[in-house]
Amino acid sequence: MRILLIEDDKELQRLLKKALSEADYVVDTAADGEEGHFLGDTEPYDAVVLDLGLPKMDGIQVLQKWRKAGRNMPVLILTARDSWSDKVAGIDAGADDYLAKPFYTEELLARLRALMRRAAGFASAEIEIGPLRIDTRTSRVSVNGNPVKLTSLEYRLLAYLGHHKGKVVSRTELVEHLYDQDFDRDSNTIEVFVGRLRKKLDVDLIQTVRGLGYCLDDPAVLSKPQP
């Protein structure tokens, strides 16, 4: 899952990027509103952490421009402002949630998980697909109750497919959401990681849809004949 972090405080940005990366997210950063707006307008993100008090372009303006342009990714706003009116302005501009500074990193991570979970239509922090369990709180995976050890990139790939359960996800989309903007992206590596996942999960969960991409779903669903 790919996150855009827009925060002008260099130390806070560093700490948040570290925490998000350790939680198995790919993180792109921006230090002002103009750069942040450009990234959010041109790159696909699963969620955005947006500070309101930004140089060059205020966070409220950034958010309003995104929503007006039809960009609907979940947005968590950060504000040092105590006024309830600023929080209301953020929500009215299109934010999905907010945190007032100072805050605990664990709370930010929990709110992000909840935003992405709701956007994908899941109520629980655990994604269940047949015998597969993906715990988004701990980044742990199990099949039939047995833990499956995955690399960080393997987990990101599985989690992204899990958040899009039953939907066909193209290789291009996976590349866009698994790697940051500076990574030398190659969609051919996705096939390699899918192959590794299939071996480690050892259950028929990931279907290749020729010419389109991959679909993760319950084996019972995948085995049903298509009309």
Distances (CA, A) of 155 to 15, 17, 88, 139, 221: 22, 18, 36, 7, 22
Return the structure tokens found at 218. 């319950």
Return the structure tokens found at 193. 């990681």
As a three-state string, the secondary structure of 29-94 is EECCHHHHHHHHHHCCCCEEEEECCCCCCCHHHHHHHHHHCCCCCCEEEEECCCCHHHHHHHHHHC
Name the CATH superfamily for 2-120: Response regulator (3.40.50.2300)
Same fold, 2-120 and 126-222: no
Rounded CA-CA distance 53/10 in Å is: 13
Closest among 71, 100, 75 to 86, alpha carbons compared: 100
Closest among 47, 76, 44, 16 to 177, alpha carbons compared: 44
Closest among 124, 77, 125 to 103, alpha carbons compared: 77
Q: What is the pLDDT of residue 62?
A: 96
Return the structure tokens found at 99. 């945190």
CATH of the domain spanning 126-222: 1.10.10.10
Share above pLDDT 70 across residues of the chain, in percent, rounded to a whole number: 91
What is this structure's pTM?
0.81
Averages of pLDDT over runs of 10 residues in the chain (227 residues) are: 94 96 92 96 94 93 95 91 77 91 92 90 86 91 94 91 92 85 66 92 90 85 51
- Domain boundaries along the sequence of the chain: 2-120, 126-222
